[in-house]
């Protein structure tokens, strides 16, 4: 999903919904904890973007000239995100 950026908004929304469902299923079935899933999300973000979410937020604040997707929705653990 991180690789989609803002170039595929419809597909990205569908993929986000699907991923949220898998995350929720993993939590309900107790295959993973919120902390474990957050580590996976953080690791994936680092692999894709080459920086942590905190570093990306700091870079976004200092460089407003470059277009950057808004990833702030993923700063909150999956269970605490607003449901649509």
pLDDT tens-place string over residues 67-83 = 567 777 788 888 887 76
Model-wide pTM > 0.75: no
Structural domain including 35 reads 2-63
Residue 65 has pLDDT above 70, yes or no: no
Q: How many folded domains does the chain comprise? A: 1
Nearest to 21 by CA among 3, 13, 48, 45: 13
Residue 66 has pLDDT above 70, yes or no: no
Tell me whether residue 83 is in a domain.
Answer: no
Identify whether the C-beta of residue 29 lies closer than 8 Å to the C-beta of residue 74.
Answer: no
Max avg pLDDT among 1-10, 30-39, 60-69 = 30-39
Look at residue 84 in the predicted model and tell me its pLDDT.
54
Identify whether the C-beta of residue 77 lies closer than 8 Å to the C-beta of residue 34.
Answer: yes
Residue 37 has pLDDT above 90, yes or no: yes
Tell me whether residue 52 is in a domain.
Answer: yes
Identify whether the C-beta of residue 4 lies closer than 8 Å to the C-beta of residue 11.
Answer: yes
Tell me whether residue 77 is in a domain.
Answer: no
Tell me whether residue 12 is in a domain.
Answer: yes
Tell me whether residue 56 is in a domain.
Answer: yes
- What percentage of the chain has pLDDT greater than the value 70? 88
Tell me whether residue 68 is in a domain.
Answer: no
Tell me whether residue 79 is in a domain.
Answer: no
């Amino acid at each position: 999903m991180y690789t989609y950026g803002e170039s595929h908004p419809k597909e990205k929304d569908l993929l986000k919904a699907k991923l949220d469902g898998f995350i929720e299923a993993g939590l309900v079935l107790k295959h993973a904890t919120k902390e474990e899933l957050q580590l996976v999300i953080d690791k994936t973000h680092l692999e894709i973007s080459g920086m942590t979410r905190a570093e990306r937020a700091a870079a976004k604040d200092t460089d407003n000239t470059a277009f950057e997707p808004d990833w702030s929705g993923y700063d909150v653990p999956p269970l605490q995100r607003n449901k649509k």
